[in-house]
Amino acid sequence: MIAEIITVGTEIIIGSILNTNSKYLSNKLIEMGINPYYHTSVDDNEERLKDVLKIALKRADLIITTGGLGPTQDDMTKEVVSKVLGLELELDTGVEKEIAEKFKKLHRHMTENNRKQAYKPKNSLFIKNDNGTAPGILINTKSNKIILLPGPPSELIPMFEKYVVNHLSDDNNIIVRSINTIGIGESALEEELRSLDIYEENFEIATFAKDGTVEIKIIARGSNLNIIEKKLYEKINKIKDKLGNYIYGYDNKHISEILIELLKEKKLKLSLCESCTGGLISSIITKVPGASAVFDRCIVTYSNEAKIQELGVNPKTLAESGAVSEQTAYEMASGLLNKSNSDIVLSITGIAGPDGGTGEKPVGLVYMCVMNKDKHKIIKDIFSGNRTSIQNRAALRAMFEIKEFV
């Protein structure tokens, strides 16, 4: 099945917001075996939207539009789609009543504009919007399926997952699993995968690299759910056996969440001291709700003086080995372990660039030390990319190393 995603909205066309809806919908459609070959964006203009719809009706079986379903003058997707398809708009008195009641509850006046939302094209279905006022619409014609969804991702995503998916599934079963890895490059990973006996028809295996992590995505299709589940399980086990050291999680769960769950489960308290990442690891971890249960503190010692004062790093070490060295990483970690009563600590020091690199210590060089009261581990790596990329890669790697150490 060929699909076209049409995002309607001047804010996309003038570059004021990013088109995240097309990415989200494509991802979902691909997982269901539908090919979203065309993405089109157009502004809130009747004539141009008409033209875009006419082209899409010819080249796609499924059309999903997002945006333009609200109550204002600019919102015209429903009206224009109806015109192009030659369908009249009908008032749904049930929905009209619902809207009226909603306004009554809020003690607000219901305008003619609001009533507009109770109209839908003849023979179409409303799709419920649990997180906003504009419902979606599903239209089946002889040759096309057309689905109109609102623009805000916070409304569109739950609608798609709760209601739209059911209208798109066919007899075939699809299971999608992701295996998330870190510490191995995409090419090397692909080579390892190719050496495994996991490839066969109806099992699509692809890799996607981002910030030093690589996602292995397996899309399994088949009519017998039991068989594909069993086969998928076998394949994942083969990958685990070979690449287990690099796997940090499954199904794109963020490593910060995995780490926090693990620390909660083991009842361990974590503290950090960061230099080159400047608080990034701490800020990623504290983005997760409930991090306070396992996270105690982070000391960002950006200057040498702070390393000495806050963590008791020996000035001699800084003078002889430098701030970016195994010994400094070790002393940072043990200083922090001594003064906090955390169970596990990680220190990180490196050269994020763009300046400060030398032949011996290039930009991207990072030392970490993860430590508890019984043991410690030093990690040395050279991360590639610009300053932000080096900081991001080092932060992800740090969380992975803490998880492995626990």
Estimate to the nearest angstrom the gap between the alpha carbon of 154 and the chain centroid.
Answer: 14
Q: 233 vs 302, which CB is nearer to a copy of itself? A: 302
Q: 69 vs 299, which CB is nearer to a copy of itself? A: 299
Closest contact distance (angstroms) between CB of 314 and a copy of itself is 18
> Hey, is 365 helix, strand or coil?
strand
Closest contact distance (angstroms) between CB of 237 and a copy of itself is 26
Residue 341 identity: N
Closest contact distance (angstroms) between CB of 47 and a copy of itself is 10
Q: Dihedral of CA 318/321/324/328: which sign? A: negative
Neighbours of 43 (CB within 10 A): 15
Closest contact distance (angstroms) between CB of 363 and a copy of itself is 11
Concatenating the DSSP letter of every residue in 78-111 gives HHHHHHHHT--EEE-HHHHHHHHHHHHHTT-PPP
Q: 42 vs 370, which CB is nearer to a copy of itself? A: 42
Estimate to the nearest angstrom the gap between the alpha carbon of 361 and the chain centroid.
Answer: 34
Phi-psi region of 266 (alpha: psi -120 to 50; beta: other; left: phi over 0): alpha
Q: 99 vs 168, which CB is nearer to a copy of itself? A: 168
Cβ-contact 270, 291 below 8 angstroms? no
Q: 94 vs 290, which CB is nearer to a copy of itself? A: 290
Q: 63 vs 272, which CB is nearer to a copy of itself? A: 272
Q: 23 vs 167, which CB is nearer to a copy of itself? A: 23
Q: 137 vs 298, which CB is nearer to a copy of itself? A: 298
Is the previous residue joined to 354 through a cis bond, with omega within 30 degrees of 0? yes
Closest contact distance (angstroms) between CB of 391 and a copy of itself is 7
Closest contact distance (angstroms) between CB of 335 and a copy of itself is 13
Question: What is d(CA 167, CA 41) in angstroms, rounded to the nearest whole number?
Answer: 24
Neighbours of 406 (CB within 10 A): 16
Closest contact distance (angstroms) between CB of 268 and a copy of itself is 14
Task: Give start and end residues of each alpha helix (H) in 118-164.
Answer: 153-159
The burial of 49, by beta-carbon neighbours within 10 Å (0-12 exposed, 13-18 middle, 19 or more buried), is given as buried
Q: Dihedral of CA 112/116/117/122: which sign? A: positive
Closest contact distance (angstroms) between CB of 8 and a copy of itself is 11
